[in-house]
Chain A
Amino acid sequence: MSKQAKNAHQLARQLFKLSLADGAVSDERVSGVLAYVAKHRPASPVIVLRAYYRLVAAELAKGQAVVEHAGAIDGALLASIAAAMSRKYGRTVTAAAKPNAALLAGLRVHVGDDIYESSVAGQLAALAAAV
């Protein structure tokens, strides 16, 4: 990594820390950071903003459970998943449904880097890997 890129990543991390309010990404602060970057353009603005985007996206992903499903899913189930994940991670986690027919049946829940696999496709993949 060049020195320029290293500095850009360091700045992105600083900007990211400034974007947090009570441990969560604040829309208001993100707008403020973007306004600051537009006004005081850093040495490598594209690298800084890309790194900043990645950090913010990763943080936002931690607060959202993406529920992939094959077939119908009701609001009550989504709410129970959101409640269970909030309990598990100790922070507010919202749930969003995302249809995925490739799962065949069952669910796959993404929260940040973690994946909770309870689909037929996942079980078949595990079986294929074990054979």
Chain B
Amino acid sequence: MSTVLEQIEQQIASLTSRVVKKNTGNIRTVADGVAKIDGLSDVMYNEMVQFPGGAIGIALNLEEDEVGCVILGDIAQLKEGDEVTTTGKLLSVPVGRALLGRTVDALGNPVDGKGPIDAKEFYPVEKIAPGIVARKSVSQPLFTGIMAIDSMIPIGRGQRELIIGDRGTGKTTITIDTIINQAKINKVGLASGDKNFRPVYSIYVAVGQKNSNIVRTISALEAAGALEFTVIVAAPAADNPANQYIAPYSGAAIGEWFMENGMDALIVYDDLSKHAVAYRQISLILKRPSGREAYPGDVFYLHSRLLERAARLEGKGSLTALPIIETLAGDVSAYIPTNVISITDGQIFLETDLFNQGIRPAVSVGLSVSRVGSAAQIKATKQVGGKLKGELAQFRELAAFAQFGSDLDAKTKAQLDRGGRIVELFKQPAFAPQPIELQVSVLFAMQKGFFDPVELRKVVDAATSLKSFFTTRKDALLTEIRTKAALDKDLEAKLQAACEEWKSSYSA
């Protein structure tokens, strides 16, 4: 008996006294969130290294006799000569449903005071994007709830659509509206019990923003009941540049979990201009050669490898990316905007002038495009809004010429009148996304001329009245549009009748 126990004890002893090999180095210099380290001869590119005091770093520069690391965490305790060890691991973040409704930092640690996150899985922050074979073309719509976008610049699941514009033009608002709309659709879909319904989970990555702005965003999502379907990754302006550099990749890893597990996810990068600035700061401290606007040579790869991770996968789910870029004085030809424009599958350009004229969302129809096009639209939207973009572009052109003279022929006047009404119809308040069936109904009414007798300045009121009429009295019809997703003769007749009914009550 005792011999057996001794044998087991010996076995345990042999296991517990196993020799652990570590590869180490010593800090030579530490400044601005970057450490230069002697040694670490076995370190790999992008490997996580352990600093004293719990801080971790990522090896970004492997040089002949030193290693350059960005430090994630508190650097106040670090000093020259401190020992650094390799971990043999790539930086990973917790992923899964447990993160929904939570706010985390760039490393996936909770920062919302709601306690620890019980995540079962971890995904590497840096990952090679899915290849050609694994991908599927984008053909399923992702409704933003914004009529101007859903009808003219449709976004599909797995698409990368850039939102670009000057500061204060409503870029973040569009993305929050989209997240809120996904939550609304999810609630309706999950309540319906439809087995084919695929909810869309959202990830909002805040890079270099003020903490007050992040709190405002969280509050807006919470007030709309969208936080339970959303993960917030926060790397505010007060965070060190390394955290701001990592945050979008962490968000992508969280989104990839949903995609890999057969679900659909939406990720918002707010914004990639500040992300590029954080990376420039790190690169300059690492003494990497600088190029145009002092950005390093691989700033294109910084964003291309991030955005390529958005995809629709064969037999799995999808990850849709909405990156945001802030322009200066509307200059879309600057370095970072042109880079991201060329990477994405289209852009929604927001104009300061339109915003100041009260046209909100201030979408510039001429400069905005979705390269996926009508493949990501339901048939009903195509039927009622297929020609809208052309009509609106024609209106803008005519409106510009009409400023020079007052004598206009009847046809031109009619076109201007119609264009003006479309512009009014597309005005939409913030945080109030509209369901696609309601959008279809309003656009149907517009196409059939129900708004023609309404005075231009009263079009918004009329549209509000029509929406209210449909939601309160024609719920069955809206459900039918949503489920059929196309307007057949029967549905068109019902819509026509409903619009007539509204018209009589509205004029009365």
Contact = CB atoms under 8 A, between A and B. Distances in A.
Interface in B83-114: 85
A130 interface: no
Interface string A104-125: 0010000011111110001100
A113 B39 contact: yes
Contact of B20 (A54, A113, A116): A116
A9 B287 CA distance: 15
Interface residues of A, number: 17
Nearest to A111: B21
Nearest to B86: A113
13 contacts: A9-B65, A13-B65, A54-B65, A58-B39, A58-B65, A113-B23, A113-B39, A114-B24, A116-B20, A117-B20, A118-B17, A122-B20, A126-B20
Q: Which 9 A-B pairs have the closest CB atoms?
A: A113-B39, A118-B19, A117-B20, A115-B22, A113-B41, A116-B19, A113-B23, A115-B24, A116-B21
Contact of A55 (B18, B20, B39, B65): B65
A69 to B, nearest CB: 14
A1 interface: yes
A18 to B, nearest CB: 16
B19 A117 contact: yes
Nearest to A126: B20
Interface centre among A9, A113, A118 (most CB of B within 10 A): A113
Interface of A: 1, 9, 13, 54-55, 58, 106, 112-118, 122-123, 126
Contacts of B65: 9, 13, 54-55, 58
A113 B42 contact: yes
Interface in B5-26: 16-25
Contacts of B392: none
A94 to B, nearest CB: 19
B166 interface: no
Nearest to A6: B287
A114 B22 contact: yes
A118 B39 contact: no
A47 to B, nearest CB: 14
A118 B20 contact: yes
A112 B39 CA distance: 8
Interface residues of B, number: 19
Given A54-B65, A58-B39, 15 more contacts: A13-B65, A54-B38, A58-B65, A113-B23, A113-B24, A113-B39, A113-B40, A113-B41, A113-B42, A115-B21, A115-B85, A116-B19, A116-B20, A117-B19, A117-B22
A126 B64 CA distance: 31
A54 B42 CA distance: 18
A106 B65 CA distance: 32
Nearest to A12: B65
Contacts of A13: 64-65
Interface in B47-101: 64-65, 85
Contacts of B38: 54, 58
A9 B65 CA distance: 10
B23 A114 contact: yes
A123 B23 CA distance: 16
Nearest to B21: A116
Interface centre among A1, A114, A123 (most CB of B within 10 A): A114
Nearest to B50: A129
Interface string B421-462: 000000000000000000000000000000000000000000
Contacts of B18: 118
Nearest to B65: A55
A11 to B, nearest CB: 13
A80 to B, nearest CB: 13
A106 B21 contact: no
Nearest to B42: A113
Contacts of A126: 20
B42 to A, nearest CB: 7
Contacts of B64: 13
Contacts of A114: 21-24, 42
Nearest to A112: B41
Interface in B22-40: 22-25, 38-40
B61 to A, nearest CB: 12
Nearest to A107: B19
Given A113-B24, A113-B25, A118-B19, A1 B39 contact: no
Contacts of B16: 123
Contacts of B17: 106, 118
Interface string B261-295: 00000000000000000000000000100000000
A106 B17 CA distance: 9
A13 B42 CA distance: 20
Contacts of A55: 65
Contacts of A118: 17-20
A55 B64 CA distance: 11
B165 to A, nearest CB: 40
A13 B64 CA distance: 10
A1 B17 CA distance: 45
Interface in B332-388: none
B12 to A, nearest CB: 13
B51 to A, nearest CB: 12
Contacts of A115: 21-24, 85
Interface centre among B19, B24, B38, B42 (most CB of A within 10 A): B19
Contacts of A58: 38-39, 65
A93 to B, nearest CB: 15
A13 B85 CA distance: 25
